[in-house]
Structure 1
Amino acid sequence: MLMQSALVALGATLAAAVPTLVAKDNYFVNPKTGNRFQIVGVAYQPGGSSGYDATAPDPLSQKDICLRDAAILQVLGVNAIRVYNLNPDQNHDECATIFNSAGMYMILDVNSPLVGEALTSDKPWESYYASYLNRTFAVVEAFKNYPNTLAFFSGNEVINDIGTGATVPPYARAVTRDLKNYVAKHSERPIPVGYSAADVRDVLFDTFNYFQCAEDGKADDPSRADIFALNSYSWCGDSSFKTSGYDKLVEGFKDSSVPVFYSEYGCNTPSPRIFSEVASIYGPEMTDVFSGGVVYEYTQEANNYGLVNISSDGSIILRSDYFALQGQYAKLDFTKVQGAKPPTATAPKPPTCTSKLITTKGFNNNFTIPALPPELRRSSRRPVSNPDGSVLKGLEVKVLAADEINSPGTNKADGVASPTNGNSTTTAPDGKPKNAGARPVAIVLPALAMGAFAFLAGFAI
């Protein structure tokens, strides 16, 4: 743990490319400018969450892969990534620095269900124990000193129906409390901790109220979540604000006392996706209530949500979904989206925790949460190509200036297809894929001028 802390401290000595943000009332805010921050994110777990192996490198421990992907995400316009499975015993200095320099924040899950280190939906009291909590603390310890660590999730969809709503909430809130207390004691700055919920309308708003309420209405209640997010796939295809039920979400969260955002979105029916919900998420219908969202997901896996394909040799082919999303971003004026000031009106206050907040029969309405367990009271070269097989040139991670955040349309690469071209058919008249037989050419990134971080010198993808 001491060695890990020393490595993290080394990473924190660099000048930050992104400003450190705070969760102020119901918004993310840049404390230097006073401007609100909207998350323009992508879920990032190359290989898929099911491919995570605690004995193998995690997604933020391989600099060559991080540099390759940061460059691609930077061109897309992303300013944040969400990572689900991390090994706190591995070193993340290089990848954290790469994404920081590219103007991207990291939203991190502390649980890892695949290796049995997570709060469970079934019998949560059996999974709330000292060694599990130590694992979550280790994730915080590994990432707390990186300036682009935006937030931690204490849980992901652990509450997903009435049955789990009856048993899980006190334990999920206890984990939130434990993480917040650890951050308060061991981090030099506050880092928000919150919950990523399933968009199951039967329990969604009861879950929200359970996490955002405070004992006696005091905002500094250590068990109260700092943020609340939801994984929502209710907008599919060419839908609308009302048809998708987004209007009901805005109505349900309009009095939130904490920032609310999509921790996953991007229904893949029909496919390929068109991401028409982007206009609403970053438009006047929603931005007063929501703080952006995270598209699911970066790499194409068996579930068919990918923005890119990764070949066995590490080469990348951009999918039509990538260009569709890029095209939707291009329709927006992100200088206005990110430049807005919080409303001058008084922010909503957290409701007092009381059984009256819970409206669904069977959902837990007892806000007495478990005590802390007694034990704790003591270099590579990989090509990137368009769907038609043409290879991108000049693709690089551009090191942004201090306090600069990545934004759609800011960074470009030679040869990247336009959103319109990217959405065109990927087959030739003979019915064969346009990129069939294409032989991508390696793209070399120039060395990043990272000062003390000599590990990036001469590095290329």
Structure 2
Amino acid sequence: MKLQLSVLAAFLAGSASAVRPLIAKGGNFVNSAGDRFVIVGLAYQPGGASGYDPASGKDPLSDPDICLRDAAVMQRLGINTIRVYNVNPEVNHDMCMSIFNSVGIYVALDVNSPLAGDSIHRHEPESSYHEGYIKRIYSVVDAFRGYPNLLSFFAGNEVVNDALSASLVPPYIRAIHRDLKKYIAKHAPRTIPVGYSAADDPTRRPMWAYLSCGDDADSRTDFYGLNSYQWCGDSTWESSGYQGLVDTFKNTSVPLFFSEFGCNKIRPRPFGEIAALYGERMISSWSGGLVYEYSQEKSDYGIVQIDSNGDARLLKDFDNLQSQYNNINLNLIKTKSAATTTARHPKCEDTFILQGHSEKFNTSTTLPPNPATNLLEKGSGNTNVGKLVPVTQTKTPHKVFTSTGVQIDGIEIKMLKDDESNTPSGENTSSSTASSGSGGGSGDEKDATGGLRVSAVLVVGVAVVVGFWGLA
């Protein structure tokens, strides 16, 4: 039996699954019933990139009290996905992942870290692609492969971002896709999408074309994320460049989404791009995006201020983002499917990949061999294999304050039913009535016009989940 019995037992007996696993199929993320999933999410890295310290024994998903606080806030906001950049594969993430699962929130995870040896050097890829690096990324897979709310792995983030890196790195990014996907196929209980997060620069189109082309499904990307900050302040569709993005990536054969967005040149941010991203002109070809970012850091992109004592204070950006999310037409998301789920991948020809771009872009599909095939076969050696556990505490021990300074009474998560995932609830958390109720959840809810809001994602029962996870 492919699925480890311990993982299966924990999954069935430990805690209800509020979400069902997702796969990438054609231009969409879909669940086992074929329902489309669109990302409404946030980048999540409390402490910032510089705050990652493996020696501390902590990471953003290791402290249940912090995760409970933030899950309660995020559930009110209405998101369904978080992106986590830096994790320690040796620490336990069971409770945090189970908390986010219980409120219907998926996790998209970077396998790399900013520490030496944990990522590919964009100007010296050969020297950084070694057994130690492979052990790192395989260990991350092992630590998280047991969670049904793990949406995906990012094989890289903006590794190609200039002429030199474009001439050297692309084959290594495809090789990492191959290495991860083969390891997942051999050691994980289910298929887990693997993709790339790209810089919004002249390399964005050739990188998308290069990663999504060809018949080699192992090295081909499952999705393509773009870190884009084109829409600033009161930009419009015409002034933002969004039409150019739609034109650039039309007829995509893989899901597209913003792996980061949210220009902060104007504060507080009005987030007018939400209406565009989830509206008629983009929703048929884009699968949503992740706002940068949840916690306020030195870069000044946060929507929540975290105090030194662990209390949280919502910022005006939070209110504006929540208001924009509440106006999303969830029925439109559900019905406007992207490219056909049987989309064909173009051939990896220079005429398709480059299309007038610099010839310095490396289009070779002859990939470097895996430097640690022994680990591919026997495993990373990481015995810290995650699993869902019961979530028994719902109230956060930390205080949460609205943007007007009012403490929210009884801040807690709302445990969702087996067939629910999180969606915007229509509430205004910072309003005077915000202290009652916990918000979030899906199912049939009334929108502002009195009509029914239809959930973008349905959730499956245990029997279907077991079938989807590929039990023999």
Is TM (by shorter chain) over 0.5?
Answer: yes
Tell me what 1:318 maps to: 314
Secondary structure at 2:405 match in 1: coil
> Residues 234-266 of structure 1, C-alpha deviation per residue, up to 9 Å, x if partnerless?
111111123111111111111111101000000
Q: Which amino acid aligns with 1:368?
A: T
CA contact (8 A) 1:390 1:415 kept: no
Question: What's the CA shift for 1:375?
Answer: 5.7
Change (3 A) 1:338 1:11: farther
C-alpha distance 341-388 of structure 1, shift in aligned 2 (>3 A): closer
After superposition, the C-alpha distances for 1:163-204 in whole angstroms (9 at most, x for unaligned) are 11000111111111100111111112111000000111x111
Partner of 1:209: 209
Q: In the alignment, residue 360 of structure 1 is paired with which amino acid?
A: S
TM-superposed deviation, 1:49: 1.2
Deviations 1:145-171 (A, max 9, x none): 101000000000000111110001111
RMSD: 2.1
Structure 2 residue 258 is matched with structure 1 residue 257: no
1:360-404 Cα offsets, whole Å, 9 max, x none, are 221112221101115637697211101221111132111101131
1:263-298 superposed Cα distances (whole Å, 9 cap, x missing partner):
000000111111000001000110111000000000
Q: Among 346, 355, 359, which residue is 1:351 paired with?
A: 346
* CA 22–411 in structure 1, closer or farther in 2 if over 3 Å, else same: farther
In the TM superposition, residue 212 of structure 1 has moved relative to its aligned partner by: 0.4
What is the distance in 1 between the residues matched to 2:338 and 2:87?
37
2:293 corresponding residue in structure 1: 297
Give the letter aligned to residue 292 of structure 1: G
Give the structure 2 partner of residue 457 of structure 1.
none
Contact persistence 1:395–1:414 (CA under 8 A):
no
Aligned partner of 1:389 in structure 2 is 405
Is the CA contact (8 Å cut-off) linking 2:87 and 2:113 kept in structure 1? yes
Q: Secondary structure at the match of 2:226?
A: strand
Distance 1:120 1:337, change over 3 A: farther
CA contact (8 A) 1:275 1:324 kept: yes
CA contact (8 A) 2:18 2:102 kept: yes
Asked whether the 8 Å contact 2:272–2:324 carries over to 1, the reply is: yes
> What is the distance in 2 between the residues matched to 1:69 and 1:171?
36
3-state SS, counterpart of residue 61 of structure 2: coil
Query: Could you tell me which residue of structure 2 aligns to residue 363 of structure 1?
Result: 361
Write out aligned runs for 1:237-252 (5 A): 237-252=233-248
Distance 1:393 1:412, change over 3 A: farther
- Provide closer, same or farther for how the CA distance between residues 234 and 415 of structure 1 changes in structure 2, counting only shifts above 3 A: closer
The residue number in structure 1 matching 2:418 is 402
SS in 2 for 1:298: coil
Could you say which residue in structure 2 is the equivalent of 1:233? 229
Structure 1 counterpart of 2:240, one-letter code: S
Question: Aligned equivalents of 1:399 and 1:412: distance in 2?
Answer: 20
Partner Cα distance (1:233, 1:7) in 2:
44
2:294–2:304 CA contact under 8 A, matched in 1? yes
Alpha-carbon shift at residue 415 of structure 1 (Å): 5.8
Task: Write the mapping of 1:59-74 to structure 2, written as runs, cut at 5 A.
Answer: 59-74=60-75
SS of equivalent to 2:136 = helix
Q: Is the 8 A contact 2:155 2:173 kept in 1?
A: yes
Deviates more, 1:293-302 or 1:346-355: 346-355
Shift of 1:302: 0.5
- Distance (Å, rounded) in 2 between the aligned partners of 1:311 and 1:345: 46
- Conservation of the 8 A alpha-carbon contact between 2:27 and 2:341: no
Aligned residues: 407
The answer on whether the counterparts of 1:41 and 1:79 sit within 8 Å (CA) in structure 2 is yes
**In the alignment, is the contact (CA less than 8 A) between 2:44 and 2:83 conserved in 1?**
yes
| Structure 1 residues 388 and 400: alpha-carbon distance in aligned structure 2, compared to 1, 3 A threshold | same
What residue number does 1:269 align with? 265
* Deviation, structure 1 residue 132: 0.6
Aligned 1:5-404 pairs, distance under 5 A:
12-13=11-12, 14-32=15-33, 34-56=34-56, 57-200=58-201, 202-214=202-214, 218=215, 221-334=217-330, 336-340=331-335, 342=337, 347-356=342-351, 357-358=353-354, 359-373=357-371, 376=374, 381-404=397-420
Cα deviation for residue 352 of structure 1 reads: 1.2
Secondary structure (helix, strand or coil) at the match of 2:186 reads: helix
Alpha-carbon contact 2:326-2:426 (below 8 Å) kept = no
CA shift in 2, pair 1:23/1:311, >3 Å:
same
In structure 1, the residue matched to 2:456 is none
Change beyond 3 A, Cα 1:71–1:396: same
Q: SS state of the match for residue 238, structure 2?
A: coil
SS in 1 for 2:287: strand
User: How many angstroms apart in 2 are the aligned matches of 1:340 and 1:403?
Assistant: 19
Q: Aligned AA for 1:35? A: D
- Return closer, same or farther for 1:402/1:341 CA change in 2, 3 Å cut-off: farther
**AA aligned opposite 2:347:** T
* d(CA) in 1 for partners of 2:104, 2:338: 26
Letter in 1 for 2:369: A
Bigger relative contact order (CA 8 A; separation at least 6): 2
Cα deviation, residue 84, structure 1:
0.1
Q: Is the 8 A contact 2:232 2:265 kept in 1?
A: yes
Which segment is superposed worse, 71-80 or 355-364? 355-364
Say whether the 8 Å CA contact 2:103–2:414 is kept in structure 1: yes
What SS class does the counterpart of residue 210 from structure 1 fall into? helix
Aligned-pair CA distance for 1:30 = 2.5
Conservation of the 8 A alpha-carbon contact between 1:8 and 1:146: no
Cα distance in 1, alignment partners of residues 47 and 7 from structure 2: 25
How far, CA to CA, are the matches of 2:338 and 2:226 in structure 1?
A: 23
Give the stretch that moved more between structures: 94-103 or 340-349: 340-349
Q: CA deviation at 1:345?
A: 5.7
Paired with 2:427 and 2:75, the residues of 1 have a C-alpha distance of 6
